[in-house]
Chains A and B, each alone.
Chain A
Amino acid sequence: DGGITQSPKYLFRKEGQNVTLSCEQNLNHDAMYWYRQDPGQGLRLIYYSQIVNDFQKGDIAEGYSVSREKKESFPLTVTSAQKNPTAFYLCAAATGVGTEAFFGQGTRLTVV
Chain B
Amino acid sequence: GNSVTQMEGPVTLSEEAFLTINCTYTATGYPSLFWYVQYPGEGLQLLLKATKADDKGSNKGFEATYRKETTSFHLEKGSVQVSDSAVYFCALSVNTGGFKTIFGAGTRLFVKA
- Shortest CB-to-CB span from A54 to chain B, Å, is 9
- Among B41, B43, B98, the residue within 8 A (CB) of A103 is B43
Task: Evaluate contact between B99 and A96: CB separation under 8 angstroms.
Answer: yes
**B95 partner residues in chain A, CB cutoff 8 A:** 97
Q: What's the least CB distance linking B91 to chain A, in Å? A: 8
Q: Is the CB of B51 within 8 A of A33?
A: no
Is the pair A94, B99 in contact by a Cβ cutoff of 8 Å? yes
**On chain B, which size bracket covers the interface?**
20 to 34
CB contact under 8 A between A105 and B32, given known A50-B98, A98-B51 = no
Question: Within the assembled complex, what's the spacing in Å between the Cα atoms of A31 and B104?
Answer: 20
Docked CA distance A56–B100 (Å): 11
Does any Cβ of A come within 8 Å of B34's Cβ?
Answer: yes
CB distance from A74 to the nearest CB of B (A): 14
With an 8 A cutoff between CB atoms, is A90 at the interface? yes
Q: In whole Å, how far is A3's beta carbon from the nearest beta carbon of chain B? A: 10
Q: Is the CB of B43 within 8 A of A106?
A: yes
**Quick check: is B79 within 8 A (CB to CB) of the other chain?**
no
Q: Give me 7 A-to-B residue pairs in the complex whose CB atoms sit less than 8 angstroms apart, sorted by A's number.
A: A50-B98, A90-B44, A98-B93, A100-B34, A101-B101, A106-B41, A106-B43
Quick one: closest A residue to B34, CB to CB? A100
Report chain A residues within 8 Å CB of B34: 100
Q: A97-B93, A97-B95, A98-B93 are in contact. Are A45 and B100 (CB under 8 A)?
A: yes
A90-B43, A90-B44, A99-B93 known; A42 and B99 CB under 8 Å? no
Given known A-B contacts A41-B106, A42-B89, A105-B43, A94 and B101 have beta carbons under 8 A apart: yes
Would you give the 0/1 interface string for B85-107, flagging 1 where the beta carbon is closer than 8 Å to chain A? 00001010111001111111110
CB neighbors of A among B35-59 (8 A): 36, 41-46, 49, 51
Shortest Cβ gap from B42 to chain A (Å): 6
| Contacting residue for A97 out of B32, B36, B46, CB 8 A | B32
The verdict on A41 contacting B105 (CB below 8 Å), with A90-B44, A103-B43 known, is yes
